Structure 1
Amino acid sequence: MPLKHGPSVDLEKLALEHIVPRLRSAGYCYLDNILGEELGDQVLAQVRHLHQEGALKDGQLAGNLRGVSKKHLRGDKIAWIAGTEEGCEAIGLVLSVIDRLVVLCGNHLGQCYVKERSKVHGGVLRIFPGGGSEVADVEPLFDRLLFFWSDRRNPHEVQPSYAIRYALTVWYFDAKERAAAKQRFKRLSESRQDPTSKDS
């Protein structure tokens, strides 16, 4: 089946009239039927193939949590995909569409300047917008695209899944956030290499 060139929608209009206003007012925004059935089926087939080939690995926990059941806290399987790998062409096309939408949101998102992204296959999501008591459960529907602030503005958690479900998840960093994260990583790496340093 030939690869489609992406969704036949006005991405600029989508970004400025739907994504930006919802992110600014509610902290999240989801769009349905963004890819179309043909491209969506191709993405699903490619992710299933990755799963069948054993490319999806158990998700890892951040930090040092000795004595904690990793399976209890995190039961997903992930693979880091750039979209340029052989057999991942449809995934790459989806990532390019998401990149384009984020670029089109541009400086309309307040102080955030989105600079770069990282990628992983993820799971089902529950969001607590603004850290308040409101709960937003976004159903994992086929061909749904969800945008949300994934920092302290929107505490969120992966909900249990009772069937095999696939999701493409992409994190974007603004320039200041990325620079701060690199500094923290550098300090952590240096402290681990220094035999005189002690774990806190």
Structure 2
Amino acid sequence: MPLLQHALDTDLERLALDLIVPSLLDQGFFYVDNFLGELVGHFVLDQVKELHSSGVLQDGQLAGPDRSCGISKRTIRGDKIAWAMVACYPGNGTGYVKHVDNPNADGRCVTCIYYLNKNWNAEEHGGILRIFPEGKSYVADVEPLFDRLLFFWSDRRNPHEVLPSYATRYAITVWYFDSEERAEAKRRFRDLTASTQDQDRRTL
């Protein structure tokens, strides 16, 4: 098993160095198909479906203070999530309007999404992730195909949106963090919390 793990780690490191990093630097995103393979991909999909059917998934939240200005949150993002960041768009035409994952320097550096949608037909089912790479004259449309792994910058270099989905659409999202930016974000949060507590004490 250690040898197998070492081989897997080596393959992933080679994938990162040879393909992912150069592609991120050049165009801001990268995806690879058939990432885990049919068998493992189906196992992951079954686990996600079980989460969905058990009611674990909750309505997705908006980051930061309420910026909706009276607009229904569902008009901004209509997915349901669990905080392993399993996301499900239920197929009723919901999506997620153009946004940035990390607009406030919270430490998130690279967004990584693994898609789990068998027999997905974008013309019929919609649900495309549309990326607007900074400084580029084009947009990138990524279909949420089964066993596809996608990487893109989490900050303002890559605004993106999820177009309306007309079939159940599953994805798992994780983020890679910049340690220095994350530490600074935590410091700002601690300072803000301490300042708020001091104001509350003075008010009392």
TM-score when normalising by structure 1: 0.69
Alignment-derived partner of residue 195 in structure 1: 200
Change (3 A) 1:169 1:133: same
Change (3 A) 1:9 1:44: farther
Alignment-derived partner of residue 87 in structure 1: none
User: How many Å separate the matches in 2 of 1:135 and 1:17?
Assistant: 24
1:163, distance to aligned residue in structure 2 (A): 1.2
1:20, distance to aligned residue in structure 2 (A): 1.4
Residues 187-196 or 131-140, more deviating = 187-196
- Number of aligned residue pairs: 164
User: How many Å separate the matches in 1 of 2:111 and 2:52?
Assistant: 20
Q: Does 1:175 align with 2:176?
A: no
1:145, distance to aligned residue in structure 2 (A): 0.4
User: How many Å separate the matches in 1 of 2:37 and 2:183?
Assistant: 37
1:124, distance to aligned residue in structure 2 (A): 5.1
Given candidates 152, 165, 172, the residue that maps to 2:156 is: 152
Alignment-derived partner of residue 170 in structure 2: 166
The amino acid of 2:43's aligned partner reads Q
Counterparts of 1:75-114 in structure 2 under 5 Å? Answer: 75-81=78-84
Contact 1:58 1:75 survives alignment (8 Å): yes
| CA deviation string 1:178-200 (max 9, x = no partner) | 012212322333344332799xx
Structure 1 stretches lacking a partner, 5+ long:
84-113
User: How many Å separate the matches in 1 of 2:60 and 2:18?
Assistant: 35
Counterparts of 1:18-33 in structure 2 under 5 Å? Answer: 18-33=19-34
Contact 1:59 1:74 survives alignment (8 Å): yes
Q: Does 1:143 align with 2:144?
A: no
| CA deviation string 1:83-137 (max 9, x = no partner) | 9xxxxxxxxxxxxxxxxxxxxxxxxxxxxxx999999999852211125442111
1:26, distance to aligned residue in structure 2 (A): 0.9
Change (3 A) 1:148 1:40: same
Change (3 A) 1:37 1:120: closer
The amino acid of 2:153's aligned partner reads W
User: How many Å separate the matches in 2 of 1:61 and 1:115?
Assistant: 16
How well do the aligned residues superpose, as a CA RMSD in angstroms?
A: 3.5
Contact 1:37 1:143 survives alignment (8 Å): yes
Change (3 A) 1:82 1:76: closer
Contact 1:27 1:154 survives alignment (8 Å): yes
The amino acid of 2:71's aligned partner reads V
Given candidates 128, 133, 146, the residue that maps to 2:132 is: 128
Structure 2 stretches lacking a partner, 5+ long:
87-106, 116-126
1:21, distance to aligned residue in structure 2 (A): 1.1
Contact 2:114 2:171 survives alignment (8 Å): yes
